[in-house]
Copies of this chain bind each other. A is one copy, B any other.
């Protein structure tokens, strides 16, 4: 990857002297940002641009070329690549659009491109992107003229949309943050986000990575790369709903992901997700400042009203405003006119007009061992106090770095003044209290969560009968169907999931015999490949207390099924002993196209209607993580024994989740598993899976 970012010579292919030629934009950017290598222009028409010769082909270039940046019509790209290959160029950036995202014809172009790349062992970024930037060496390949002056710095960007990528560059400039590297990945026909990220997390120039993603292809690889990273990774994920799908497909050729899986995966891998881009600056700054190592915040404010709003915001974000210790208050008192002000946290500096004193207070506050961060709110009169205020703000930022604690600055002033402040201070300045406090929340949250994703999940060693389960699945697969209910139940039993044993029968007489053997009361359930939501159609009859009741239920069930599914082949009936008591839960798993096996757990029964939220994880998970899944459910309190009820056997439930994860991992033919309901009995009494579905994919 390094060769994409540190070429010593670059050929821009697609330049012509004609006005409006887009290739000129690339040359313009490279020139404006002072590319330190050698630049060659190439274009079929030849001629001269900007005082330099345009070569008709890369093969005409007399020297070695490290990187070709290509912006010629889609149908010509394969040929250009062929020439590059012959010339020995091994890295290409293709900015041209009109491939996969434009349908059939584009797909054909794409196929040729892939073929040429393979033949010459070339690597490509794009097509349909804005290419790469490396601020360290003035490499600036986008064809869109970039007027924003970035300063070289340590933030790098990977964007699956050029336009959004450029907006991110603007944001950095606005926040006075330096850019290091930028990639607009385009259609990712060859190099993908995962590989680029893997490079950037190792890249010495990059300290923080911002991702804009529209579709994730190899989610597992992305997670692995992120987990290894010692640098913060922020991600904005677009294309999360149904409305954005079609435009994303035609724009960056991205397929959409299940957003709940993305959410879980990011959390598991330590990728900090920014859901509302309005907050992005708060996230970036939050992860660049000295970390907030605890919940105790000191708020210093010159305006009482702003202090009130700050206190509200701190509370919303879970910070504590601990009272200052008495000796510190005695120190503070020296700065104030006697008794005018109450010395509390937030500290109202309203009556203090000498900005010099603020420095001492800030420093003394940061010295307090129990203060983990400072929020400093400064309202001032730009003209009169402007220079002094600027110095205080500068001092506050530096004091934070000196004490290795975060200091966030809020300023109420005019836009012009603010713009100048932002551009002249190393430290971020906020105009919204909420964003300032959020940046502290991001900082503390990142520190808190880090140990979790840094630990590689080690699923416990479980005794399972893989061969047995695989046999059942293979048998169904051979008949081109999903496993029947009784087979699904058996497969899960092979994996040690405590399914309620049952007997698969075909006649009322067999059912009666089974019930007698199992003991009444029993439940009967239809077995059929066509009927998946069997309880909705009378396919489940519960609580049958006698043979007579059983036979009547059988007849009733068959009649209703015949009416609802006249064509369904009924493969018999499963007779199970009735299980009552316990809390109804749901455990499931499926194979996600991008992230592989995922598992989930949720409340069952009546709660399904009102608590649709399930806890979800990308597998593998360890025991600790499964318990965490259960505990983050909105109904966890009930399972944990709220309101005097007995605590449920959470460990047994966690075990079911682990076994479902293992089943999915071991038997690739399985696309989806539903264990619903699982009844969780009081602690120590385990749980029982009453019903199951296994779907092959």
Residues on A lying within 8 angstroms of B by beta carbon are: 98, 102, 144-145, 147-148, 159-167, 170, 173-174, 212, 214, 236, 238-244, 246-248, 250-252, 276-278, 302-309, 311-312, 314-316, 321, 340-342, 344, 346, 348, 350, 379, 381-384, 412-416, 419, 432-435, 606-611, 634-635, 637-638, 642-643, 645
Contacts and interface: CB of A to CB of B under 8 A. Distances in A.
Contact of A247 (B348, B412, B414): B348
Contacts of A635: 609-610
A607 B605 CA distance: 13
Contact of A167 (B160, B251, B412): B412
28 contacts: A98-B340, A145-B383, A159-B305, A161-B305, A161-B306, A163-B379, A165-B305, A166-B412, A167-B306, A170-B415, A238-B312, A242-B315, A243-B311, A244-B307, A244-B308, A247-B304, A247-B307, A247-B308, A247-B311, A250-B304, A250-B344, A251-B350, A278-B432, A278-B434, A609-B635, A609-B642, A610-B611, A610-B635
Contact of A174 (B415, B606, B638): B415
A413 B170 contact: yes
Contacts of A240: 312, 315
Nearest to A323: B246
B161 A241 contact: no
Contacts of A312: 238-241, 243-244
Nearest to A340: B102
Contact of A251 (B102, B308, B382, B611): B308
Contact of A305 (B144, B251, B379): B251
- Which has the most chain B C-beta neighbours within 10 Å: A163, A212, A246, A384? A163
B309 A277 contact: yes
A167 B236 CA distance: 30
The list of the 5 closest CB pairs from A to B, nearest first, reads A161-B305, A163-B303, A251-B304, A164-B305, A244-B311
B381 A147 contact: yes
A608 B645 CA distance: 13
Contacts of A248: 304, 308
A432 B164 contact: no
B434 A305 contact: no
A161 B306 CA distance: 8
Given A244-B311, A251-B307, 7 more contacts: A167-B306, A167-B412, A170-B413, A241-B312, A243-B315, A250-B344, A419-B419
A643 B609 contact: yes
A308 B277 contact: no
Contacts of A278: 278, 432, 434-435
Given A145-B383, A242-B315, A384-B145, A305 B212 contact: yes
Contact of A382 (B147, B236, B433, B634): B147
Contacts of A173: 414-415
A582 B247 CA distance: 49
Contact of A315 (B159, B241, B307): B241
A312 B239 CA distance: 6
A381 B145 contact: yes
Contacts of A166: 379, 412
Contacts of A244: 307-309, 311-312, 315
Contacts of A308: 161, 214, 238-239, 244, 247-248, 251
Contacts of A412: 163, 166-167, 170
B416 A162 contact: no
A631 to B, nearest CB: 13
Nearest to A414: B148
A324 to B, nearest CB: 13
Nearest to A98: B340
A362 B7 CA distance: 44
A19 B164 CA distance: 53
A635 B603 CA distance: 14
Q: Name the residue in A102, A246, A302 with the highest tally of chain B Cβ atoms < 10 Å from its Cβ.
A: A246
Contacts of A606: 638, 642-643, 645
A492 to B, nearest CB: 25
A305 B252 contact: yes
Contacts of A161: 303-306, 308
Contact of A309 (B162, B164, B165, B609): B164
A305 B162 contact: yes
A517 to B, nearest CB: 32
A173 B638 CA distance: 52
A239 B315 CA distance: 11
A350 B246 CA distance: 15
